[in-house]
Amino acid sequence: MTNEGYSEGRPLDHLNHGNISEQQFLETYNAGDYERPSVTVDMLVFTIRSEAQSNYRKLAEPALQLLMIRRGGHPYMGKWALPGGFVSMQESLEDAARRELVTETGLDDIYLEQLYTWGDVQRDPRTRVISCSYMALVDSSELELEAGDDASDADWFRVEQRLLEEKRHIHERGRTTERRVQLTLSNGTEELSAVIEVKEAVEGSVRSSSMNILEVEGIAFDHAKIMVYALERLRSKVEYTDIAFNLMPETFTLTALQKVYEIISGKKLLAAAFRRKIADWVIETEEFTGNAGHRPSRLYRLNPERMTT
Amino acid sequence: MTNEGYSEGRPLDHLNHGNISEQQFLETYNAGDYERPSVTVDMLVFTIRSEAQSNYRKLAEPALQLLMIRRGGHPYMGKWALPGGFVSMQESLEDAARRELVTETGLDDIYLEQLYTWGDVQRDPRTRVISCSYMALVDSSELELEAGDDASDADWFRVEQRLLEEKRHIHERGRTTERRVQLTLSNGTEELSAVIEVKEAVEGSVRSSSMNILEVEGIAFDHAKIMVYALERLRSKVEYTDIAFNLMPETFTLTALQKVYEIISGKKLLAAAFRRKIADWVIETEEFTGNAGHRPSRLYRLNPERMTT
DNA sequence: TTAATAGTGTCTATGAGACATTATTCT
DNA sequence: AGAATAATGTCTCATAGACACTATTAA
């Protein structure tokens, strides 16, 4: 094992010998003109919104929605992409993410989580771009979309995922799993879609996983892959954290909360068990819903003492 | 909401108007000479190794160990840092991580997981450096450390974490949690340490968390913070995935596996419950340990059909 | 009255924690 | 024999799923 890495023969270390003081070193240090990748942030802004009611008595069917931007220039002109932008030298990654969020949604102070950093060499046809993706969850009640802004190129897309095929192969020292997942996005006018292949392999204790875009319709860059990754993360986190509360308004009914869990996890839940499970995470208020052709529903709010994530 | 982001007034888009074809655009595209951050990967290579036996009958006490490199140049000369290095233009982030891993440990084909990307503006005193951290888990039986390489500057450090203080404050619309965590690393000769402050705040559904280095002894850059983050991730993943198996050799005793769980989670487990829990993840072999002054222990191997991560 | 949702009670199966008990080895 | 670890049996308690049942509203 040798002392490689930061300390030998690397771009930043051309002045990095030991016979000057650290202060001298930093004063004379010059970042040099080595080629560097560009760094961007990509935002996955999710919300849960209700679509039209079919019947005065029936509840509106909420759905998971994702914010996307139509590209006005090359490459992928006219396709839809995740909101995002370049990270400047004066801001941290999270600052850049929050800046994008404010720009696109006008919202500050919302749930933001770093997801994954995408670093494939050819992921952007222009030049080498490394993208750090962030997931933001917003409460739909706060959203003011396209207020007056005519023909804006930002829109919410209803997100759906479907498992097309799963192949599982178990051999002596491991297994491989191969899934094809179909992603569908629609905003009422346009329908975007992609088929992503997710491969996982375990060989002894060696594990690898990879994602590939097999087909894509209307979605720019590798963003369809990023979406599938984000949906997977969201689905897994909803099981063992209280992340879903970030999609709820100040007060909400337990049925609405349950719907959010069901939409994200893709599973139907039983009301009794669900209520028991989240009982300690909420506090009841004295308010109720009404005017709905059926029994009113009590409104709850978050319990600040709730489970730590 | 406006069409910001990738498509307007950003470095890569100075030629990005719509009146040429995408092919023309890409042919004339020039990445330009905008200032860009440097991008590195930092590796957290963990293993579990046994230290000396105190008694011929007692089992050796295994401990969690982390690979570190002593810096030979400025800045932080003489301090210990995570192995890592710059990402070149021709390799993906994961390729860079695997390359570092091979360089430092000689190991290929081991568990590797992207952890988090650190992008604070001032995290490196030389210039803006964004670092993507990866966690690698290796089975100690495979390790050949410093084979013949005299006075190498790479070494394994035993890692320990201690909670110094926890303050919890609950107010009407949220709560804050503030913890001070002490990190201690020792390789037998040197002892490194740091005190990290971890703050979490929830206000309504708005959540933020931050980590700060309060004290640091012998650890370069913000690497103490990265370690605390990695330990937290490891601890949480050991609870709900089979990640711990990546630290085990081909065959192992259930007691050894349990020890790994205990070391990472920081909790004592009861053998009966532990064995029930992992029963389906392992397959028994016909081999046993021996020569140990007590009942031999059956060796197990991974069940390739085990739980999906 | 009826359609629809809101909300509760309770049975059962499952799994985890606690702890006692038996098994086996080498010195 | 004795010290040490290996391995299992079983009691209890907490929790999740299933499902039946009651409650309440507006048209």
Backbone angles phi and psi of B43, in degrees to 5: -105, 130
Nearest-CB residue to A117 (from B10, B93, B248): B93
Contacts 24+ apart (CB under 8 A), A57-61: A57/A292, A57/A293, A57/A294, A59/A255, A59/A292
Among B205, B210, B282, which would you mutate to test the A interface (most chain A Cβ atoms within 10 Å of its Cβ)?
B205
Nucleotide nearest to B270 (CA to C1'): C17
In tens, the pLDDT along A97-135 reads 999 999 888 888 889 999 999 999 999 999 999 999 999
Residue A90 forms beta bridges with which residues?
none
CA of A273 to C1' of C11 (A): 14
Q: Which residue of B has its CA nearest to A152?
A: B2
In tens, the pLDDT along A13-46 reads 444 555 778 787 777 777 666 789 999 999 999 9
Q: Which residue of B has its CA nearest to A97?
A: B5
Percent with pLDDT over 90 in chain A: 66
**Band of residue B210 on the pLDDT scale cut at 50, 70, 90:** very high
In tens, the pLDDT along B221-272 reads 999 999 999 999 999 999 989 999 999 999 999 999 999 999 999 999 999 9
Q: What is the pLDDT of residue B147?
A: 41
Going by C-beta distance under 8 Å and a sequence separation of 6 or more, which residues neighbour residue A80?
A68, A69, A70, A71, A157, A185, A190, A192, A218, A219, A220
Nearest-CB residue to A92 (from B120, B139, B207): B120
Backbone angles phi and psi of A89, in degrees to 5: -70, -20
Q: What is the pLDDT of residue B47?
A: 95
Residue B163 forms beta bridges with which residues?
B181
Nearest-CB residue to B75 (from A4, A22, A93): A22
Task: Give the residue among A49, A43, A51, A46 at the shortest CA–CA distance from A66.
Answer: A46
At A9, is the secondary structure helix, strand, or coil?
coil
List chain C nucleotides near protein: any atom < 7 Å from a Cβ.
3-10, 15-20, 23-27
Question: Would you call B145 and A1 a contact, using CB atoms and an 8 Å cutoff?
Answer: yes
